[in-house]
Amino acid sequence: MSGSKRILLVALLGWCGAVSSQAGEIDFADLPLAPNSYWNGSDESGGFSTGGVFFKNEYVYYPEWGMESWTGWSYSNITSTTSGFSNQFAAITGGGIAGAGSKYAVGYVDSPNGAFIDLGIHHALSLKVTNTAYAYHSMKDGDAFAKKFGASDWFKLTIRGFESAGATGSTTGQIEFLLANGTNIVDQWVSIDLSSISAGARSLAFELTSSDTGSFGMNTPAYFAMGSLTVAPEPGTVVLVIVSGVTMALLRRKKS
């Protein structure tokens, strides 16, 4: 093998390895967080990034009332699984996919496609979800605003793919998953295959609906938890990186 071919082969293998290393399961472990606490966007950064994927957050503080509100995404490592709004940042599992006290994301979805993820150069393969403690106990036992679920009740997560960032452009399809089906209420991490909507999707948007609705909308707390998101680089991105790398190697070779 000639020297130039050897250089190109080594470069090509290196670039392929670098690109493939971007694939994997995003489990939020790299996000900064004190034990048994949460991040809800109070730094007004507008969201957080991990594994090359962006999770949108909207946070508002009302100084006249000393109150705050948020929508979209937060993240947490809260271990308590008690009921009620005061425990809104807790997954019913008491931790992420790595066990009690590990990190996970919490979605608060106050409108259709109200929580979204920008995938960057990736496409999504699957994700793991469960109920929050707040939503779980509301459905299991009922509360001041929502009913105790019976055999005909349901709580549904709808995931849509979009061709552009920010949940804009045409949709690439959607998937529906029941977080509760009658009295069968999800309390463990469950994997959802996203392959049917991921091709060409630059963002994913989430919606929650329930059989328990009233004159002001859904009564079931509009929360769910995400333990991980598995992604891989878009094939087109891989090709562009390889072609660019090979071209640069050839140019350097000619100059030497």
Residue 93 is predicted with a pLDDT of 98
Q: State the Cα–Cα distance between residues 226 and 128, nearest whole angstrom.
A: 6
Give residue-wise pLDDT tens across range 43-82.
999 999 999 999 999 999 999 999 999 999 999 999 999 9
Residue 254 is predicted with a pLDDT of 53
Confidence of residue 16 (pLDDT cuts 50, 70, 90): very low
Confidence of residue 234 (pLDDT cuts 50, 70, 90): confident
Burial class of residue 128 in the structure, from the number of CB atoms within 10 Å of its CB (0-12 exposed, 13-18 middle, 19+ buried): buried
Name 144's bridge partners: none
Query: How confident is the prediction for the chain on average, in pLDDT?
Result: 88
Closest CA to 224 of 143, 146, 144, 159: 159
Residue 198 is predicted with a pLDDT of 82
Q: What is the rounded average pLDDT of the residues 161-167?
A: 97
pLDDT above 50 (res 226): yes
Residue 241 is predicted with a pLDDT of 40
What would the 3-class secondary structure string for 98-147 be? CEECCCEEEEECCCCCCEEEECCCEEEEEEEEECEHHHHHHHHHCCCCCC
Q: State the Cα–Cα distance between residues 193 and 128, nearest whole angstrom.
A: 9
Q: Which CATH superfamily is domain 26-83+90-234 in?
A: Protein of unknown function DUF4465 (2.60.120.1350)
Report the share of the chain in percent with pLDDT over 70: 82
**CB contact set of 41 (below 8 Å; sequence gap of 6+):** 47, 57, 58, 59, 70, 72, 74
Q: Among the residues of the chain, which ranges form H helices?
A: 3-20, 133-141, 195-198, 235-255
Q: What is the rounded average pLDDT of the residues 210-230?
A: 97
pLDDT above 60 (res 2): no
Give residue-wise pLDDT tens across range 92-140.
999 999 999 999 999 999 998 889 999 999 999 999 999 999 999 999 9
